[in-house]
Structure 1
Amino acid sequence: MSTRDRRWTVVDLFSGAGGMSWGFHAHPQFRIAAAVDAQKSKPSRSTLDCNDTYERNIGIRPLEFDLQQISATELYQAVRKEGNFRSPTVLLACPPCTGFTRTLPKNHSEDDPRNSLVGRVAEFAAVLKPKVIILENARELIRGSFKSHSKKLEQKLHELGYSVHSQIYRLENMGLPQRRERAIIVAVAAGLPLRTLDDLWDGWKVNQKSITVRHAIYDLPEVSAGQTHPADPSHVSSAVTDTVMQRIRAIPTDGGSWISLFRSPETEELATPAMRRSVEANRTNHFSDVYGRMAWDNPAPAIKRECSHVGNGRYTHPEQDRLCTVRELALLQGFPSTYRFEGTSRQNAYRHVGDAVPPLISHQLAWVCSWILGGPRPKPSQFVLPNTTLRPQDVLVDKKARVEQLKISAAKA
């Protein structure tokens, strides 16, 4: 006779390759009951194959629905049947950030149709009736030209009886070895305490040595461009042309930039037309990360969706002459070393990494949720995700914050 599964249920909308889900999947008190992703790529490409990666790691197959088209009632019926629950405890929602991110100039003046998916989260919440809602997106969701979408979402959630907290976080402050700034919205049903990542980290701080590129990937074995390491199918980078390889080799190791190509006539010949135009216009900081190498003793730059080419950002290895591998970028993105990205195209594997909510952060959000739902305040030994670049011993007591807490407590006494 089977016993009833008493874990809290989770539904993940826009589930991608499982970055947000994994943090809850790794928490002993949560069960991923259902996930949904249309796995759409750009119009010229057929599919992202992210549902295969999700199933390989999480163990359930996401439902393939277009969340811009399906009605809230239809969604409720589908995920309830899939997950065997009445109402999920937690609703995760990470709508596409492409229409908000500041890296696309048009987003300052054009409201992308996909941005309306933010408002749909409230429609889904109205029928799913979760106790906690977590939404993650680009910082421009609550600060950019079209922050009205988040304002409307908050208003609708308030009307449904939720308390809402919206904030922009620098995720390196939470242990991610990457400079990544993201908006996180937490909403809780009436009667539940509203807690956030700020509460989780109150009195704690990260050892700065633990958020560097060196700490994250230095020990990985060397591979050449286009080569797959036999022990790890994901420790592989894209092959490059001879011209691109010459360009990479001409850029100084440990933080070098394409600007260095102009140091001599020989290396200047390797510069692209766009680089030449930037120099002629005296805009040497223009797209300064393109073809750039990561620096060993700094956090990585923000890892974006199109991270599969050295010409798309500072994704070149600090020392080896190649693009960082899928595994290296996954570690820098907060995935555990055991996460599997094989079974899809290499380009899609890179997108799965760049699109994801860092599991290192989603695991912390899972512990925030268990605290909201009545559990005790979690300790670093609990909220640090195993097999990632962050270890419990990397979380230090913030003595300054503790002193301030004591002063406040003394003043109240």
Structure 2
Amino acid sequence: MKYKAVDLFCGAGGLSFGLKKGGFDVVLGIDIDQTALKTYKDNIKRAKVLNKDIKLVSGKEIEKITGIKKGDCFLLAGCPPCQGFSNLGKRDATDQKNKLVYEYIRLIFELEPCFILMENVPGMSRGVGKEIFNDVVQKLKEKYCVQYDTLNAADFGVPQIRKRLVLHGVRKDVYATLLDILKVNELSLMPEATHAKDKKNGLKKWVTVRKAIMDLPELKAGEEVKCVGTANHVARKLSKTNERRLDDIRKKGGNRVNASEELQLECHKKKNVSYTDTYGVIDLDKPAPTITSGCTTISKGRYGHPTQNRGLSVREAARLQSFDDKFIFSGNIGEMSLQVGNAVPPKLAQASAKEILKYMNLLESNQED
């Protein structure tokens, strides 16, 4: 049996794509970004989409669109905007976008799904976000048993070091039923790692950049190469100086601090400069650094291609997020980069899906007995 899932703040569909691959029937994606929703609709087949401000969406509207009823055994998943909690953001707890997590809580209580999933940046549970996150958890605990942890996407087969706060929850009555079925006092709701930095304890080794992207055709800055089965292999334009700069940085270990003095930007020569990874070149034999919305721009992070004098293409960034090549992004290069960087890595979402479905199937088999 395929269980239904609804994806709030769905963006281009990374979370939904992973949930589908994990075995869910994703029936609805909701987002305010029309361009991202076009990508979503083109890739998450048969799912309905709702282009609407989440503050104006009600549980009743979701019921009407999906046929789901309050209290049904389904998954309500969401990744509320998190720029105010991110290490790369302003870390402003008063940012109104941060309050959108409460819209997710509102819809949980309006729909009372058996299972919930929330994914966000680790900064949500500490620093400026801690107060909001603690409040969210306390509200959820009124009706749900919740567990959360900071997971590294690389530990689940994603060729990228990306730490995310993942929260799983089960409605208390359902949790009690599962305890009774399994004859245990507590459930473990979080997925277990499948990969590790070193191959040990039966785990596979982290997936490297080399394995993830180096079979793609060579590409020059500003070009797009179209080949069968692979779309979005397009890179941003670069000045000749930046091409020379990347070449020099690569030959000297990949870190911009080692670049020749005449090729260093004046702002990079100053002491105590932040964002030291900018203009860096990605290491072939490690997972990539965290892929952000600036993933195709060399001035936004360590996004220089390992062997070619350009930044990452959209397709390379998508692969480093663990998207299949059949997942096609819509929009201009800036819009596509935003969609890729903001997405939940599908393989991380797939790990959550499998863990939650394990318990859903257990409930179903118990009812059949």
- TM bin, normalised by shorter chain, reads 0.7 to 0.9
2:246 pairs with one of 237, 245, 248: 248
2:101 pairs with one of 105, 118, 131: 118
Deviation by residue 1:166-197 (Cα, 9 ceiling, x = unmatched): 21112212221111111011110123354433
Q: How much does 1:356 deviate?
A: 0.4
| In structure 2, distance between residues paired with 1:235 and 1:127 | 42
Query: Which stretch has the larger CA shift, 346-355 or 212-221?
Result: 212-221
Q: Residues 66 and 253 of structure 1: is their aligned pair in 2 closer, same or farther, counting only changes over 3 Å?
A: farther
Q: How much does 1:151 deviate?
A: 1.1
2:265 pairs with one of 259, 264, 272: 272
Q: Residues 205 and 179 of structure 1: is their aligned pair in 2 closer, same or farther, counting only changes over 3 Å?
A: farther
2:26 pairs with one of 32, 37, 45: 32
TM-score, reference length from structure 1 = 0.78
1:163 pairs with one of 145, 169, 184: 145
Q: Quick one: percent identity of the two aligned structures?
A: 30
1:15 aligns with 2:10: yes
| In structure 1, distance between residues paired with 2:109 and 2:28 | 17
1:85 aligns with 2:68: yes
1:305 aligns with 2:316: no
Give SS of 1:135's match. strand
Kindly indicate whether the alpha-carbon contact (under 8 Å) linking 1:121 and 1:153 is maintained by their aligned counterparts in 2: no
Aligned ranges 1:6-405 → 2 under 5 Å: 7-28=2-23, 30-39=24-33, 49-59=35-45, 60-67=47-54, 69-70=55-56, 74-87=57-70, 89-104=74-89, 106-107=90-91, 110-159=93-142, 161-190=143-172, 191-192=174-175, 193=178, 194-199=187-192, 206-208=203-205, 210-231=206-227, 232-253=230-251, 256-262=254-260, 268-277=261-270, 281=271, 283=272, 286-341=274-329, 343-375=330-362
Q: Residues 93 and 110 of structure 1: is their aligned pair in 2 closer, same or farther, counting only changes over 3 Å?
A: closer
| In structure 1, distance between residues paired with 2:194 and 2:282 | 28
| In structure 2, distance between residues paired with 1:81 and 1:255 | 57
TM-score, reference length from structure 2 = 0.87
Give SS of 1:63's match. strand
The residue type paired with residue 219 of structure 2 is V
Kindly indicate whether the alpha-carbon contact (under 8 Å) linking 2:159 and 2:212 is maintained by their aligned counterparts in 1: yes
| In structure 1, distance between residues paired with 2:168 and 2:201 | 21
Kindly indicate whether the alpha-carbon contact (under 8 Å) linking 1:11 and 1:32 is maintained by their aligned counterparts in 2: yes
Kindly indicate whether the alpha-carbon contact (under 8 Å) linking 2:155 and 2:194 is maintained by their aligned counterparts in 1: no
The residue type paired with residue 350 of structure 1 is S
Structure 1 runs not aligned, ≥5 long: 1-5, 40-46, 263-267, 377-413
Kindly indicate whether the alpha-carbon contact (under 8 Å) linking 1:12 and 1:35 is maintained by their aligned counterparts in 2: yes
Deviation by residue 1:83-111 (Cα, 9 ceiling, x = unmatched): 1221460001100110100123x31x653
Kindly indicate whether the alpha-carbon contact (under 8 Å) linking 2:322 and 2:345 is maintained by their aligned counterparts in 1: yes
Deviation by residue 1:363-399 (Cα, 9 ceiling, x = unmatched): 11111111121349xxxxxxxxxxxxxxxxxxxxxxx
| In structure 2, distance between residues paired with 1:293 and 1:371 | 41
Q: How much does 1:245 deviate?
A: 1.8
Cα RMSD (Å): 2.2
| In structure 1, distance between residues paired with 2:307 and 2:6 | 41
Give SS of 1:188's match. strand
Give SS of 2:50's match. coil
| In structure 2, distance between residues paired with 1:187 and 1:317 | 39
| In structure 1, distance between residues paired with 2:252 and 2:112 | 50
Kindly indicate whether the alpha-carbon contact (under 8 Å) linking 2:147 and 2:190 is maintained by their aligned counterparts in 1: no
Deviation by residue 1:102-144 (Cα, 9 ceiling, x = unmatched): 123x31x653221111222221101111111100000011122
The residue type paired with residue 364 of structure 1 is A
| In structure 2, distance between residues paired with 1:255 and 1:163 | 48
Kindly indicate whether the alpha-carbon contact (under 8 Å) linking 1:195 and 1:372 is maintained by their aligned counterparts in 2: no
Q: Residues 110 and 14 of structure 1: is their aligned pair in 2 closer, same or farther, counting only changes over 3 Å?
A: closer
Give SS of 1:62's match. strand
The residue type paired with residue 231 of structure 2 is P
| In structure 1, distance between residues paired with 2:147 and 2:310 | 42
Per the alignment, residue 367 of structure 2 pairs with none
Kindly indicate whether the alpha-carbon contact (under 8 Å) linking 2:191 and 2:355 is maintained by their aligned counterparts in 1: no
| In structure 2, distance between residues paired with 1:95 and 1:110 | 14
| In structure 2, distance between residues paired with 1:80 and 1:226 | 46
